[in-house]
Structure 1
Amino acid sequence: MPTVPATPRPAPPRWVAVDWNDLPGWGNDDLLAAWPALLASCQRPAPGWAEFCARAALQAPADPLEATVFLMKHLRPWQLAGDGGQTTGLLTGYFEPQLAASRSRQGAFQWPLHALPSDPVLRRTPRRDIDANPRFTALELAYVDDPFALLQLQIQGSGRLVMRDASGAERISRVAYAGHNDQPFQSVVRALLDRGEISDATPRTLSDWARRNPAKVRDALAVNPRVVYFREEALPKATQGPRGAQGVPLTPGRSVAIDRAYIALGTPLWLDSSEPLSTTPMRRLVLAQDTGSAIQGAVRADFFWGWGDEAAQLAGRTKQALRLWALWPVETLGPAP
C-alpha cells in the first residue's frame, strides 16, 4: 500500500500515490503564473502546510523551471479517485459578474440590489412582495439596467458594479453575499424555456426577451421567490478577485472550488481537462480556494474564470471531463505501513 499523509485529511477520499511523470503535461505549465495564487493560499495554511508555506514565502523563482523544481522537491503528487475508484470526474466553470449600475434609479437603471434587512421577518419577504414594500427603499444599494444580469449576480453570490460619477469617471465596487430571504430557489430560466418564451438560456437571449417584454419581466422573476442580499465593499485593485471560502482572493485561471469532504481548502491541485468546447488540453496547477453546494465528489472542480463578458462566456461553456492530482507536502508524509 502507498504511504499516506500523516496530517489528517477529510474522509473518505481515495488518494493514490503516483510519480511526477504520471501527471499529464507536468513541466509545461507556467508555474510563475500560479505562484501568486499559491502564496495567497499560504496566507491561511491548512494543518500540515506551515513548513512548506514558510519556505515558499522565502522563494522567488526566477523562471518556471525553478518553480517546478521547488514544488517537486517539497511536494508529492496523489491522484484523486471517487469512492468507487473512478478517476474521471467533471469540470465546470464560474465567474464574477460585472454589471453597469447607477447609484440612483434613472432611465434603464430600474432594478435594485438590496442590503440585508436587520428585521428577520422583513428579511424573509418573497421576491414578488419586495418592490411593493416601502421598507425596502432604504435598503437599495444601487440599480442595474438588466434584470437577468441581476438574477445571475444573485445566483453567483458576488460581483462588480461599474458606476460613473458626475464627472464621468468610472468607479468599480464589489458587492458580496450578505444573506438571503430563506425562500426556496426556483429557476426563472427553466420556466421561460418550458413556456416556449425563449429558445436558449444565453445572457443575450434573456436580455433581448426582457427588452421585448417589459410588462412580463416582474412576473417572470417572481417565479423564483428567493432573493440574495448584498453588502458593498471597496475594490482597491480592479485586478483582485473576490474572496473564496478559504478567505483569500480568487485568481482567474488558477482558483477552483472543490468539495471539502474530499479536498482541504488551500491544497494545490494538478488539473487535467480540456479548453471549453474544445479538445485542446487544459493542464495546469490550480489552488483549492473555494467551495459550493453543487460541487460534490472527489474528482469535481469548478474553475474560476474571472469577471466580465469573456469570463461569463467561458464559464457557461465549461463542462468537460476532469482528472485531478493533489500535491501534498513531503514533510508531512509518514513511513509506509
Structure 2
Amino acid sequence: MKNLIFITILIAIFSGCAPKFEKIDNSKANLEKVSFSDIKDFEKDDLKEAFDVFKKACTKSSRKEIFEEVCSKAQDSSNPKAFFEKNFTPYKLYNKDGSDNGIITGYYEPLLHGSFTKTDKYKYPVYKVPDDLITVDLRSIYPQLKKYTLRGKLVGNRVVPYESRKKIAKNGEDDVLLYVDNKIDLYFLHIQGSGKVELPNGDVVNVGYANQNGQQYKSIGKYMINKGYIGGKSNYKASIQGMKKWFHDNPTKVDEVMNKNPSYVFFEKRSQGATGSLGIELVPERTLAVDTRYIQLGMPVFVNTKNPVTNKEINQLMVAADTGGAIKGEIRADFFWGFAKEAEEYAGRMKEPGELYILVPN
C-alpha cells in the first residue's frame, strides 16, 4: 500500500512538472507558452539587429494575416526590446515525444568559378529550368494538397516523373545557364540552393534556386557514412569538408555517390545574393531555414545552440526566412552563416543540439 501511495505521489509530481502543450494556427508543433525571462540570454542579444531583419522580412510576411498588424507596428517602433516583449508571446517547441532538443545544421552561399562559354576548364553545366518541366500547383484542384507541388513532364497525354540527377547530368546545352570548373562544388551549390559564380574577367554572377525536378531528396552524407566512406573509423570527417576530401581522393566514385541523390536543382540569375523561400535576401547569422509545418516563414525564432568550431554558445533571435528539402522536424533548423570560406567552415561542420522558441504575434 505504501509503495502504491509513493508511486501515486511521484506521478503527481512529475505530471505537475510536465509542460502543458498548446497548439496555434498554422503549426503542428507541440508548444509551451513561456515568458521572455525563460529564454536564455534573450536580454543579452542584439535585439536591434534582429529587429532590423524582422522588418526586412515584413516586406513579404506582412501579406499573411498573422503578421499584418505587427509588421505595421514595427515601422513606428524605435525600441526593439519593448517591441518584441509587447507584441509577441514566446512559445517553446517540443518534439512529439515531449523532448525539447533538436538538431541545428548550417548552410552557406558557396563561391564557384565559371564561364558562360564551355571550355576544357569550364565544362560542368549549371542548368536553368528546362522547357519540358511541368509544375502543377495542386491546391487549385485539391485544397487539401495545398502544400504539395507536382513536377514532371508530358509523354503523350500523360504526366510522368521528370528525369533523375543521373540522366539530367547528361543533358545537352540548350538549357545551360553557365558552366563551372568543379563538379563537387556544383553538387554543393545544389544542396545550398544559391551561390555566386566568379567569371574569368572577375565579375560575379548571383545564381539561385529556380525549380527542382520533383525527385525526392536523399542525403548522400548518410549514404557515405553507411558505406564507411566518412565518419566512424574512416579517415574522413562526417562534414562537408570531409566529403569534399573523400571525393577529391576518390574521383572514380564521385558520380556513383552523387547519383544516389536523384533530386536535381535548376538555377536562375539573381540580382542579389542568397534569397530564401520567404523572398528576402538572407542575412548571415540572423536568418534560418525551417520546416513550415511547425514554424511559419517570417516568424521570429530564438535559437539556443553553439558554434561548431569554437564551441561558443549561440543564443540569439533570428527570423525564419527559408526552407530546405532536408529540414524536417519540429526542432529542426538550418542556420545561415553567409558567404565565403569562413561561412563554409562553420556551416560544413555544424550539426549541433539546440532548442527553439517562436515569438507569435499577439
SS at match of 1:37: helix
Contact 1:94 1:305 (C-alpha < 8 Å) held by counterparts:
yes
**Counterpart for residue 211 of structure 2:** 178
Structure 1 residues 196 and 39, CA gap change in structure 2 (3 angstroms): closer
Contact 1:253 1:306 (C-alpha < 8 Å) held by counterparts:
yes
Deviation at 1:266, TM superposition (A): 1.3
Distance 1:205 1:299 in 2: 26
**Larger CA deviation: 153-162 vs 313-322:** 153-162
Contact 1:146 1:207 (C-alpha < 8 Å) held by counterparts:
no
Query: Residue by residue, what CA displacement relative to the aligned partner does 1:195-249 show, whole Å, maximum 9, x if unpaired?
Result: 86984266566666666666665566555554322222233xxxx431x222222
SS at match of 2:173: helix
Query: Residue by residue, what CA displacement relative to the aligned partner does 1:269-324 show, whole Å, maximum 9, x if unpaired?
Result: 11111121444211000111222333233222211111222212211221222112
Query: Residue by residue, what CA displacement relative to the aligned partner does 1:60-112 show, whole Å, maximum 9, x if unpaired?
Result: x3xxxx32122212222222222332222221112222211111122422211
**Counterpart for residue 250 of structure 1:** 282
Equivalenced residue count is 313
**Counterpart for residue 173 of structure 2:** 137
List runs of 5+ in structure 1 lacking aligned partners.
Answer: 333-337
Contact 1:126 1:227 (C-alpha < 8 Å) held by counterparts:
yes
Contact 2:220 2:258 (C-alpha < 8 Å) held by counterparts:
no
Query: Residue by residue, what CA displacement relative to the aligned partner does 1:130-159 show, whole Å, maximum 9, x if unpaired?
Result: 5655xx212221111111111111222322
In the alignment, structure 1 residue 31 sits paired with structure 2 residue 68: no
Distance 2:248 2:95 in 1: 46
**Counterpart for residue 22 of structure 1:** 38
Distance 2:225 2:120 in 1: 26
**Counterpart for residue 54 of structure 1:** 72
TM-score (norm 2): 0.74
Q: Which amino acid counterpart does residue 180 of structure 1 have in structure 2?
A: N
Contact 1:159 1:176 (C-alpha < 8 Å) held by counterparts:
no
Q: Which amino acid counterpart does residue 67 of structure 2 have in structure 1?
A: W
Match of 1:233 among 250, 253, 270: 270
Distance 1:259 1:223 in 2: 24
Deviation at 1:180, TM superposition (A): 1.9
Deviation at 1:257, TM superposition (A): 1.7
**Counterpart for residue 160 of structure 1:** 196
Deviation at 1:327, TM superposition (A): 1.4
SS at match of 1:265: coil
Structure 1 residues 252 and 131, CA gap change in structure 2 (3 angstroms): closer
SS at match of 2:65: coil
Structure 1 residues 180 and 325, CA gap change in structure 2 (3 angstroms): same
Distance 2:222 2:91 in 1: 40
Deviation at 1:191, TM superposition (A): 5.4
Contact 1:188 1:224 (C-alpha < 8 Å) held by counterparts:
no
**Counterpart for residue 142 of structure 2:** none
In the alignment, structure 1 residue 124 sits paired with structure 2 residue 150: no
Distance 2:248 2:313 in 1: 39
**Larger CA deviation: 182-191 vs 99-108:** 182-191
Identity %: 28
Contact 1:180 1:227 (C-alpha < 8 Å) held by counterparts:
yes
**Larger CA deviation: 190-199 vs 278-287:** 190-199
Contact 1:94 1:312 (C-alpha < 8 Å) held by counterparts:
yes
Q: Which amino acid counterpart does residue 106 of structure 1 have in structure 2?
A: T
Structure 1 residues 104 and 301, CA gap change in structure 2 (3 angstroms): same
Q: Which amino acid counterpart does residue 315 of structure 1 have in structure 2?
A: A
TM-score (norm 1): 0.79
**Counterpart for residue 81 of structure 2:** 68
Q: Which amino acid counterpart does residue 114 of structure 1 have in structure 2?
A: Y
Q: Which amino acid counterpart does residue 175 of structure 2 have in structure 1?
A: L
Q: Which amino acid counterpart does residue 206 of structure 2 have in structure 1?
A: S
**Counterpart for residue 185 of structure 2:** 149
Structure 1 residues 195 and 303, CA gap change in structure 2 (3 angstroms): closer
Structure 1 residues 208 and 105, CA gap change in structure 2 (3 angstroms): farther
Q: Which amino acid counterpart does residue 293 of structure 1 have in structure 2?
A: G
Structure 1 residues 225 and 270, CA gap change in structure 2 (3 angstroms): closer
Q: Which has the higher contact order (CA 8 A, sep 6+)?
A: 1
In the alignment, structure 1 residue 270 sits paired with structure 2 residue 302: yes
Contact 2:129 2:210 (C-alpha < 8 Å) held by counterparts:
no
